[in-house]
Amino acid sequence: MSLLSVKNLVVEFPHRRGDLRALDGISFDIAPGEILGVVGESGAGKSLTGASIIGLLEPPGRIAGGEIHLQGQRIDNLPYEQMRHIRGRKIGAIFQDPLTSLNPLYSVGRQLIETIQTHLPVNAAEARRRAIELLNDTGIPAAEQRIDHYPHQFSGGMRQRVVIALALAAEPQLVVADEPTTALDVSIQAQIISLLKNICKSRGAAVMLITHDMGVIAETCDRVAVMYAGRIVEIGPVHEVINHPAHPYTAGLMAAIPDITIDREHLHQIEGTMPRLNAIPAGCAFNPRCSKTFGRCTTERPTLMAAGATQAACWLTQAGAPAQTAAGVAA
């Protein structure tokens, strides 16, 4: 049974010329203990999907359709106070900049203890013991002393460890991590990813990892969903999507990754830019940037279809397509 199930999620923003659709029919599941990566260019809708699940969609954005279920309970239509209890207790959140997640006026210990006591029936002494244990688990040295320090007394990597501890404080079943390593240097990135992976696996929590870094996806995730213009264009096991991409956009992302074994003068790039919400083309949204476009691509929008070991929203996956197969595109 899925821990998280998102079905046909639609998010819209009001505009003077009508509502703009930022997410258009997003569907996916995450199993207990699974790490699902969500990848795509800026503006693809990755963070918006995470915010919708957490219940932190900023007005005037609104969920205009679809359903979100956590452990069988529908959560997208809950009142604010009910969702506030679920957020933290059942869903933990890790954001890109730890400084925006930590109150600079309170010690990290106070923030951890308050979070624990808000969601778990424990006294202050037990909450402090758990907070120290969490800091130890997330790799904070001398946690017994550092629990009383303030956010500014920690380095960027250590602050992100504190944020992970906060996200795990109430023992949530799902952790939504939105670009958790972007603001960190490469060596610290690797430590944070390893930490997040090990802790969540040991605690049995599922993770939705939002990032634009395919290296992070390859190192961390069990499955990956590739987003483009508010839709999932490919989803499947991470090794299949990386090594045998079925959608031309995914193939373009893979080709853009530098390969130290190949001597290239220029890196591959996908021509063009992501369309604006008020200018998404008919048919497949990627068709103006795709070198394999044929007639159907410009008139009929594809849904996710079986494409080997993955699912891809691409007409090239269908038998009889006039272009080469998606496997050929990946090559």
In tens digits, the chain (331 residues) has pLDDT values of 789 999 999 999 998 888 999 999 999 999 999 999 999 988 899 999 999 999 999 889 999 999 999 999 999 999 989 998 899 889 999 988 877 889 999 999 999 999 999 999 999 999 999 999 999 988 899 999 999 999 999 998 899 899 999 999 988 999 999 988 877 777 788 888 888 888 778 888 899 999 988 888 888 899 999 999 999 999 999 999 999 999 999 999 888 877 777 777 777 788 889 999 989 999 999 999 998 999 899 999 999 999 989 999 999 988 556 644 444 443 3
Indicate left, alpha or beta for 206 from its phi (over 0: left) and psi (-120 to 50: alpha): beta
pTM confidence score: 0.90
* The token pair that represents 86 in the structure block: 């679920």
The residues with which 228 forms a beta bridge, in sequence order, are 231
Query: Residue 254 is part of which domain span?
Result: 246-330
Looking at the structure, do residues 257 and 304 belong to the same domain, yes or no?
yes
Assign residue 113 the CATH number of its domain. Answer: 3.40.50.300
In a domain, 119, yes or no: yes
Contact (CB, 8 A) for 313 and 249: no
Please work out, in degrees rounded to the nearest 5, the angle formed at the alpha carbon of residue 232 by the alpha carbons of 229 and 233: 90
The burial of 97, by beta-carbon neighbours within 10 Å (0-12 exposed, 13-18 middle, 19 or more buried), is given as middle
In a domain, 236, yes or no: no
Looking at the structure, do residues 86 and 203 belong to the same domain, yes or no?
yes
Question: What is the total count of domains within the chain?
Answer: 2
